[in-house]
Amino acid sequence: MPEVKPTVLILCTGNSCRSHIAEGILRAAAGDLIEVQSAGSNPAGFVHPLAVRVMKEIGLDISGHRSKSLTEFLHSRVETVITVCGNAEQACPMFPGQVNHHHWGFDDPAKAEGTDEEKLAVFRRVRDEMRKVFEAYAAGRKDQAATRAQRRD
Average pLDDT over residues 86-109: 78
The residues annotated as belonging to the active site are 12, 85, 92
- Sheet strands (E) in 13-66: 35-40
Taking the model in full, what pTM does it have?
0.91
CATH 3.20.10.10 fits domain 7-145: no
**Torsional sign, CA 59, 32, 102, 48:** positive
Task: Note the pLDDT tens digit of each residue in 3-46.
Answer: 789 999 999 989 999 999 999 999 999 999 999 999 998 999 99
* Residue 10 to residue 130: CA distance in whole angstroms: 12
